[in-house]
Amino acid sequence: MAEPIYTVASDSETTGEDRSAPIFPEIAVGIDIGTSQCSIAFWNGSQVELLKNTRNQKIMRSYVTFKDDTPSGGVINELSHEYDMLSGAAIFNMKRLIGRVDTDPVVHASKSLPFLVQTLDIGVRPFVAALVNNVWRSTTPEEVLAIFLVELKMMAEHQLKRPIRNVVLTIPVSFSRFQLTRVERACAMAGLQVRLMPEPTAVALLYAQQQQQQAVHENMGSGSEKIALIFNMGAGYCDVAVSATGGGVSQIKALAGSPIGGEDLLQNTMKYLLPNVESIFSHRGIDEIRRMGLLRVATQDAIHKLSFQSSVQIDVNLGNGSKLCKVLSREEFEMVNSEVFEKCKNLVNQCLHDARVGIDDLSDVVVVGGCSNIPKIRSLLMQKSKKKALYEGMNPLEAAVSGAALEGAVASGIADPFGSLDLLSIQATPLAIGIRADGNSFIPIIPKNTTMPARKELVFTTVKDNQSEALIVVYEGEETRAEENHLLGYFKIIGIPPAPKGLPEITICMDIDSSNMLRVLAGARLPGAHHPATPFMEVKMPTVDDGHGWCAEALHGKYGAAMDLVSLQKKS
Amino acid sequence: MSKAKLRSSLLAVLRCNTAHSTAINFPNVSNSALSSQLPSNCISLSQLPSTAECFRLWRSSRCECLNNLRFPSRVFSSRSAEASDLKLRCWNCGAAAPTSVVFLVCDSCRSIQPLDQSVDYFQIFGLEKKYEIGDVNLESQYKDWQKKLHPDLVHSKSDREREYAAEQSARVIDAYRTLSKPLSRAIYILKLEGLDVNEEDTISEPELLNEIMEIREAVEDASGSQELNQIQSQMQEKLNHWSNTFAKALRNRNFDDAISSIQRMTYYERVKEEITKKL
């Protein structure tokens, strides 16, 4: 068939590129945009190398400063002073906010940042703005991310002397598919074709490569099977993975993640140092922002020092005659943050349980990310794994980006004569995907930790006699109540043949292909019929856009139980 | 439409038909080349590909599959014309398939071959079709296959081969998952025998019902992890016992006993799951 003359790009924001096209005609670079720091790495022909900016930094701060309405990011721009970051004109921590609506507790926790984060608590995107010449200039997490990406791209193009179009970008495990579309949107804005990779799985790939290289050196053939626990905690997110590694293949057995990180440790400590911190900073003038910033910098500094010393002296002049002078001990810091550490422990437990792996099976425990130096984190993992030492083989701040660069090289199809790229990362679904049925329950169709690509189906039936339509509401998550999960989209199937309730078989099939694209297929037929009553509907997910909190409520209110489904127990 | 495409869609029709248990009149086909192909298709008939597989095929062949459903005779006549091509040869370079190992990847040109439903999970792992698989290392074989088949590694290849990669890789995943656990392996092996075991079947033996009630109570009343661990190891013993019973029943081709062993294993596995959740 001849090519159509016109092609009209889809209105959907997510289609910045055609994801079914062959990925990576040239070698993709790896990018890690963290909540507080970002980095870029590439395969130099024999190994992974991190690029440095003009200030000779490999790890750059993730912030964007708005000056006279022209934004510039932390990759290129140099702040004259750390405190410049706290003038209200610098936006950071956007990885915590991307794709989140204003009912999300993570958004609420971001309100103490030294710029504007405002919420209406109705399920729309929060209002984020920088103070530029005393005027609030609104921005979005996507825009901020796109600015980092453009700067990193320019830097790499300049140094590598070739255009950069393809990247492997690391993402937190707990990101929903809706959040992924936001990240993809940011990449499209920066003109990049992207492959997303959960952070701990990138670390797992690096681990797989190191194990394989070691096996080659020791002449052990492809080496034995090793099970590793990967713990990656940065400023915004804590992620855990269990991977089974052998012969350069990293099979992800289980993933667990949560939006807890260094930022929470920082905020808890700030509250502890200055208990009325929230009331002091409740209205946001330039002075408040500055004082909040001063406290933030001093606390951050103190937490870093507590990794190497048992107590630290904090002296901050908060202006207006108020001063903070306090000695903070490591015990106090650990006590104030006991809940965060408890959550970390639970994530590890959950991940080991989901992977069906016993502690004795673990060959190595790999701890990486900005929080990996915190003594409590290290002791917690050693205790849990009953190990005397943690894995030493990688730089904790460079592990994720290096893994992403490896994946970029592998997926670009280049071969390495020494077998350094004879690698494969086999991914698993970080969250369950299912539909709302049986009242307000979330019924997973593709369970969490299913190896990808994956395809699963379940059969449902009607709740009313002669019900001709059914609403398929697709969610992603782990909660039993449907609305507590991430809404991905909805559509209805029509033309269910008239029959008593409970008789029609409504098959819902979910398919995740090798490029991580999710499709939902739905069709209805009467038992014994050979053909579906109506053609199967196939819908790409997610379909929702911003404001989906309202969508779900509206759906519920408008349709109530009229178009519900219940799961069908198969009878023999 | 290219010949190859037509053939794959026709094969898809066949499988869709089997999935929907439509009666296809196999004996009517007299072409000898085709009947040499029949045994393999007959196996896939009894295997009853799940609707999921059918969906996949339905998608890969687009709507042609559904449109053609009503004209099996035409399908067959055109298929027979191509049947001689269907000898196991690499679609890309034409090299003959090896006889010793299952033909998922061409040894000469590394091309991934189209999915062949007649290859069973045991063949993929080079195993005899037996319930007891001993302590073979499925995991490393699984990884070896994925290194050859995984769609991530064929990005530079044609659409066609990428589709084969997705299907083959998914099937190896299913095979690995099914064979690595005794219960799913048991259910699968019965399926190969043409018996569909329904795990949801209610148990009607009063003796077993009593036992189930008792264990359930014990799990609920258990006061600590020690007690739960004890029940856990009891369940494991029972699982081992019924696993052996199943193996014996299968050897003697006593399928009633085999099915009842599976039902018991299903139940004990569930108790184990419940305990793990509580632990």
Ranges A535-549, B76-90, B247-261: which has the least confidence: B76-90
Identify residue A562 by its one-letter amino acid code: A
Residue in A249, A411, A521 nearest the CB of B55: A521
Question: DSSP secondary-structure letter at B89?
Answer: B
Judged by DSSP in three states, A186 sits in helix
Q: Which residues contact A547 (CB under 8 A, 6 or more apart)?
A: A101, A123, A124, A125
Give the chain B residue nearest A532 (alpha carbons). B66
Which CATH number describes the domain made up of B88-180? 1.10.287.110
Cβ atoms of residues A139 and A91 within 8 Å: yes
Q: So what's the pLDDT on residue B87?
A: 59
User: How many Å apart are CA A30 and CA A39, to the nearest integer?
Assistant: 8
Chain B residues touching residue A24 (CB < 8 angstroms): 155
| Residue range B218-249, pLDDT digits in tens | 888 888 888 888 898 999 999 999 999 999 99
Cβ atoms of residues A147 and A73 within 8 Å: yes
For residue A111, which of A288, A368, A323 has the smallest C-alpha distance?
A: A288
Residue of B1, B48, B53, B55 best to disrupt the A interface, most CBs of A under 10 A? B55
For chain B, the average pLDDT equals 71
Cβ atoms of residues A91 and A76 within 8 Å: no
Q: Which helix (H) or strand (E) holds A341?
A: helix A338-354
Q: How is residue A228 written in tokens?
A: 């590793």
Q: So what's the pLDDT on residue B84?
A: 41
Give the chain A residue nearest B157 (alpha carbons). A22
Q: Tens-of-pLDDT digits for all 572 residues of chain A?
A: 444 444 444 444 444 444 444 445 588 999 999 999 999 999 998 899 999 988 888 999 888 888 866 777 777 766 656 666 777 888 999 999 999 988 889 999 888 888 889 998 887 889 999 988 888 899 999 999 999 899 999 999 999 999 999 999 999 999 999 999 999 999 999 999 999 999 999 999 999 999 988 888 886 655 578 999 999 999 999 999 999 998 899 999 999 999 999 999 999 999 999 888 777 777 667 777 888 888 888 999 999 999 999 999 999 887 777 788 999 999 999 999 999 999 999 999 999 999 988 889 999 999 999 999 999 999 999 999 999 999 999 999 999 999 999 999 998 888 787 888 889 999 999 999 999 998 889 999 999 999 988 889 999 999 999 999 899 999 999 999 988 898 898 898 988 999 999 999 999 999 998 788 999 999 998 888 877 787 889 999 988 776 565 666 677 667 766 777 888 765 43
Q: So what's the pLDDT on residue A17?
A: 43
Contact between chains at A511 and B150 (C-beta distance less than 8 A):
no
Q: Which residues pair with A343 in a beta bridge?
A: none
Domain ranges of chain A: 29-103+112-195, 432-567
Chain B residues touching residue A513 (CB < 8 angstroms): 151, 166
pLDDT at B77 over 80: no
pLDDT at B210 over 70: yes
Q: Which helix (H) or strand (E) holds B245?
A: helix B225-251
For residue A233, which of A504, A36, A59, A424 has the smallest C-alpha distance?
A: A36
Contact between chains at A22 and B59 (C-beta distance less than 8 A):
no
Q: Which residues pair with A441 in a beta bridge?
A: A437, A481
Give the chain A residue nearest B166 (alpha carbons). A514
B73 touches A: beta carbon within 8 Å: no
Please count the other Cβ atoms lying within 10 Å of the Cβ belonging to residue A162: 10
Q: Which residues contact B186 (CB under 8 A, 6 or more apart)?
A: B131, B243, B246, B250, B258, B261, B262, B265
Q: So what's the pLDDT on residue B37?
A: 38
Cβ atoms of residues B2 and B50 within 8 Å: no
Residue of A424, A519, A525 best to disrupt the B interface, most CBs of B under 10 A? A424
Q: Nearest CA to CA, how far is B128 from chain A (Å)?
A: 24
Residue in A411, A451, A514 nearest the CB of B166: A514
User: How many Å apart are CA B259 and CA A425, to the nearest integer?
Assistant: 38
Q: So what's the pLDDT on residue B102?
A: 80
Q: Nearest CA to CA, how far is A445 from chain B (Å)?
A: 12
Question: DSSP secondary-structure letter at B222?
Answer: -
Give the chain B residue nearest A349 (alpha carbons). B279
End-to-end CA distance of chain A: 47
Average pLDDT over residues B32-41: 37
B20 touches A: beta carbon within 8 Å: yes
Q: So what's the pLDDT on residue B201?
A: 64
Q: So what's the pLDDT on residue A180?
A: 94
Superfamily of domain A432-567: Substrate Binding Domain Of DNAk; Chain A, domain 1 (2.60.34.10)
Judged by DSSP in three states, A240 sits in strand
Chain B residues touching residue A22 (CB < 8 angstroms): 155-157, 162
User: How many Å apart are CA A202 and CA A512, to the nearest integer?
Assistant: 20
ipTM higher than the 0.90 cut: no
pLDDT at B100 over 90: no
Chain A residues touching residue B143 (CB < 8 angstroms): 246-247, 249, 251, 424
Q: Nearest CA to CA, how far is A4 from chain B (Å)?
A: 18
Q: Which residues contact A48 (CB under 8 A, 6 or more apart)?
A: A30, A41, A42, A402, A405, A406, A409
Identify residue A319 by its one-letter amino acid code: G
A528 touches B: beta carbon within 8 Å: no
CATH class of the A29-103+112-195 domain in this structure? alpha beta
User: How many Å apart are CA B201 and CA B264, to the nearest integer?
Assistant: 11
Contact between chains at A569 and B201 (C-beta distance less than 8 A):
no
Q: Which residues pair with A130 in a beta bridge?
A: A137
Give the chain B residue nearest A527 (alpha carbons). B20
Please count the other Cβ atoms lying within 10 Å of the Cβ belonging to residue B9: 21
User: How many Å apart are CA B268 and CA B261, to the nearest integer?
Assistant: 11
A451 touches B: beta carbon within 8 Å: yes
Give the chain A residue nearest B177 (alpha carbons). A451
User: How many Å apart are CA A504 and CA A507, to the nearest integer?
Assistant: 10
Q: With respect to CATH, is domain B206-278 assigned 3.40.50.12780?
A: no
Q: So what's the pLDDT on residue A548?
A: 60
Question: DSSP secondary-structure letter at A74?
Answer: T
Domain ranges of chain B: 1-87, 88-180, 206-278
User: How many Å apart are CA A372 and CA A233, to the nearest integer?
Assistant: 7
A217 touches B: beta carbon within 8 Å: no
Q: Nearest CA to CA, how far is A50 from chain B (Å)?
A: 24
Q: So what's the pLDDT on residue B90?
A: 83
